[in-house]
Amino acid sequence: MAPPQRRRHNYLQRFPLLIPLISAVAAALMFLYVLLSLLAPSPNETNHIHRPRLHSSFDFQSEDNASGDDVFRVPITDAVVAARILNATLVVPKLDQRSFWKDSSNFSDIFDVDWFINYLSNDVKIIKELPGKVGKRSSPYSMRVPRKCSERCYINRILPVLQKKHAVQLSKYDYRLANRLDTEYQKLRCRVNYHALRFTNPILTMGKKLVRRMRMRSKHYIALHLR
């Protein structure tokens, strides 16, 4: 039996022979990691893997049942996010003109439609009206969404109908999307509410005029919200 010092000397002699093997294995693992990183889908793409890509003729239309800027901004914002979840085309939302307020305003009377469409072009495809069929306006299939419907709810309930009917109108669309969503959709909500929904020039001009008059009269003023 070899003494301990001799065995230790043999191990030290063999160790340099293992260095090339260790380096080769490490290089192979690094190459495999880089290859998988390149082939893996991006985080934005993974959200759409679980459903097929819808053709542009599949349209999503929402109808808001409220009036007043503070109450229809939320449904419009949620409509954009829902269209993103469904991977569908969004028709510019309609504002309900038969509610308690009896407001005859359209979307284009309040918000800059072209700005709305162009600003969100990288997030959702938006069109001004539903395409017609041989000179006739196609009527979408009307349905309602449960309140606080989650992403999975839209995929399981709305997407099959959208794929079958090709065009769906979601009526009474107030608070029909859950508050808790992925970060991607929450960021989209912010882009819609604070950037895409820009008032038309007449409204902006009137607002600036009112603020200028208030500042001329006093440095102290209070805003009152009437319901």
Q: Is 20 part of any domain?
A: no
Q: Is 163 part of any domain?
A: yes
pLDDT of 17 reads: 57
pLDDT of 5 reads: 54
Contact call for residues 176 and 75 (beta carbons, < 8 A): yes
| pLDDT band, very low/low/confident/very high, at 123 (cuts 50, 70, 90) | very high
Number of domains into which the chain is organized: 1
Q: Is 19 part of any domain?
A: no
pLDDT of 122 reads: 94
The residue range of the domain holding 132 is: 59-206
In the predicted structure, residue 126 carries a pLDDT above the cut 70? yes
In the predicted structure, residue 201 carries a pLDDT above the cut 80? yes
User: What is the mean predicted confidence (pLDDT) over 195-219?
Assistant: 90
Q: Is 53 part of any domain?
A: no
Q: Is 226 part of any domain?
A: no
Instruction: Express as a percent the part of the chain with pLDDT over 90.
Output: 30
Q: Is 180 part of any domain?
A: yes
Can you give the CATH number for the domain in which 96 is found? Answer: 3.40.50
In the predicted structure, residue 40 carries a pLDDT above the cut 50? no
Q: Is 51 part of any domain?
A: no
The first and second tokens of residue 93, run together, are 């939302």
In the predicted structure, residue 191 carries a pLDDT above the cut 60? yes
Is pTM beyond 0.75? Reply is: no
Q: Is 9 part of any domain?
A: no
pLDDT of 41 reads: 47
